[in-house]
Amino acid sequence: MAQMKVFAGRSNIPLAEKICKHLDCHLGEMEIDEFADGEIKPHILENVRGVDVFVVQSTQPPAENLLELLMIIDAMKRASAERITAVIPYYGYARQDRKDEPRVPISAKLIADLLTVAGASRVLALEFHAEQIQGFFNIPVDHLYSAPVLIDYFSKQPTRNLIVVSPDVGRVRRARAFAARLGGVPLAIVDKRRIGKNKVKAVNVIGEVRGRNALIFDDMIDTGGTILDAVSALRKRGAARVMVTATHGVLSNQAAQKLFDSEIEQLVLTDSIDIKPDKLNAKTKILSVAELLATAMHRINRAESVSSLFV
């Protein structure tokens, strides 16, 4: 078993520090300098030769977050780290996972190739937007879900007459499993039609939501359009209260304010992305995935099974 060290890029230092706290270790020393034109230059300040290295970095925009991860991995490889695990709480560019129209890239596959070429030995990721992304890699991938963290929170809440809502057909399988783990609560589905980039129109609700407390379950919230349309559709069909939970709070543009101004009673997110204070409000609850990731990292280092975390 090689010595384990944890390093982090700048995209989510708070999460990396929490992970280290659970692992009872310090965050590896590293400087990331920038040239006058903005070019990134990571510099590792401690020996990693023969070390089992874990690099924590979410890759939400700007693109420099992804470049920073690639360069850190390259630096670790050239410093003779024994194994390099890219710990990616939020995997950016995951929505471009197939060629759904002519002359477009499959960016999720490209990012997988870049990580491999840079020198990553394996990937530990949280809640891919599409599960098939695991197959884009030719290195081992441990794909975790935030469900254990969310289930632990909602199972302790006093909410009764609950119904879990999938905001689109693509999330039904995960939403059904989530509902089952909440004690077998009913499931509803919002049938939506996409009318353009970042624009959707909710057209139907499948399931009886009248008089129930609806919990919308999604993997990420970007502009909030999908969620707001779902909230509107649920309220029109008589839902008593609407709550929302998602793993990744991207919250682009004015999404945070729009969600706050909506009829959503509570918005529960994780810290997979470092959400800035100006995007948080009284309706927002942030749960940490640090312990979940730390447990997986510990097991990977000790060559133990992590399958029990794949729920």
Catalytic residues: 192
Count Cα atoms within 13 angstroms, Cβ side, for 203.
9
Buried-state track 178-192, b at ≥16 Cβ within 10 A, e below 16: bbebbeebebbbbeb
Lookup: tokens for 219 = 């993997």
The DSSP line for 97-121 is -S--STT---HHHHHHHHHHHHT-S
13's CB contacts (< 8 A; 6+ apart) are 27, 274
DSSP-derived secondary structure letter, 115 = H
Tell me, what amino acid is at 264?
Answer: I
CA pair distance 283, 263, nearest whole angstrom? 11
CA pair distance 221, 217, nearest whole angstrom? 10
Lookup: tokens for 11 = 């995209």
Helix and strand numbers (H, E) in the chain are 8, 14
- Alpha-carbon separation of residue 97 from 111, 145, 194, 223, 251 (angstroms): 10, 19, 17, 19, 21
CA pair distance 127, 144, nearest whole angstrom? 6
Backbone φ and ψ of 159, nearest 5°: -60, 130
